[in-house]
Structure 1
Amino acid sequence: MSKKRFDNVWDAIEDTPAQAENMKLRSALIMALKAHIARTGLSQSEAAKLLGVTQPRISDLMRGKIELFGLDTLVNMIGAAGLHVEMRISDAA
């Protein structure tokens, strides 16, 4: 049995390359939001007000429940946090 190596965990566990790319983007956005909340010292209630969501949504975010957040929602939350998203597209390796 050969062991297959992957560059990213999402490449290993998702069914298609498209699904893996979606999860990579969502993961990056969630990590950025979590880091921003921690860096600014916001409580979950304060973060919820800032980002225009409920406190339970922030709890889901902080617990890494990635399946509960779509790209649109995460991009909107990034904007509400005063952060900027940049995107780079390249050919697949």
Structure 2
Amino acid sequence: MQVQSFACVWDALTDTPDEAADLRLRSDLLAACLRQIDRWRIDRALAADRLKLSARRFADLRAGRIHRFTSAELAELADRALTASQEMHAASWADRH
């Protein structure tokens, strides 16, 4: 049995470089979403509402179920998370000044 090594786990799990690249992108976007959500320090229902997700979809996101989201969906969620964070920051700044 020959031992193979891969640069990335996604390379090992997929058949083509394009599939691996898509999974790397989705993984990065998912991680970015989760970092933003964690920074909010709010309950799940409010976080799901900010992202315009149902409770079930939010649970999938929090659980890291990458296979349930396309690259486009995760890019949209990352954009929503960043926008919500910027709005929260602006509101917080306005309250202090």
Q: Which band: TM-score by shorter chain?
A: 0.7 to 0.9
Tell me the TM-score normalized by structure 2. 0.79
In structure 2, list runs of 5 or more residues that go unmatched: 84-97
1:46 Cα deviation from its structure 2 partner: 1.1
**How many residues are paired up?**
83
CA RMSD of aligned residues (A): 1.2
State the percentage of identical aligned residues. Answer: 34
Deviates more, 1:41-50 or 1:11-20: 41-50
Can you list the C-alpha shifts for 1:49-80, whole angstroms capped at 9, x where unaligned?
Answer: 11111121110011111110011111111111
Deviates more, 1:35-44 or 1:9-18: 35-44
Tell me the TM-score normalized by structure 1. 0.82
Task: Return the alpha-carbon distance in structure 1 between the equivalents of residues 39 and 81 of structure 2.
Answer: 12
Higher helix share: 2
Q: Larger radius of gyration, structure 1 or 2?
A: 2
In structure 1, list runs of 5 or more residues that go unmatched: 84-93
- Structure of greater relative contact order (alpha carbons < 8 Å, 6+ residues apart): 2
Moved >3 Å (runs of 4+)? none
Determine the structure 2 residue equivalent to 1:40: 40
